[in-house]
Amino acid sequence: MEPEEVKNNVSWNLLVSPDVGITQAPSQEQVEIMRILDPYGLYLGNGRSAMADPEKGFDFYMEVLEKSYDMMEQLLARKK
């Protein structure tokens, strides 16, 4: 996406560096790791709205975060 496209999709005056570049797409391995670490789509999808569900509550949100730390440790252990 070009900087002008991004600017047109935000409601504030987005400042863009003159040296802005294009970020490479993540590798398949990186995508798989992101999905492992974020199974509820909290950061990568629409999981934030699901977390706002009053039936789930704050404890569920904290449980998801704690599980993501456990998964991160497991992934790091596999890399060693």
Give per-residue pLDDT as tens, 57-69. Answer: 778 778 877 887 8
> How many domains in the chain?
1
The whole domain housing 59 covers 21-79
Tell me the C-alpha to C-alpha distance, in Å, between residue 39 and each of 13, 20, 52, 76.
Answer: 33, 31, 16, 17
**Tens digit of each residue's pLDDT (9 = 90 or more) over 10-30:** 888 999 898 988 888 999 988
| Confidence band for 51, pLDDT divided at 50, 70 and 90 | low
Q: Would you say residue 10 lies in a domain?
A: no
Q: In the predicted model, what is the mean pLDDT of residues 37-43?
A: 77
Residue with tokens 């629409």: 46
Q: What is the pLDDT of residue 32?
A: 85
Q: Would you say residue 37 lies in a domain?
A: yes
What is the pLDDT of the chain when averaged over all its residues?
81
Q: Would you say residue 2 lies in a domain?
A: no
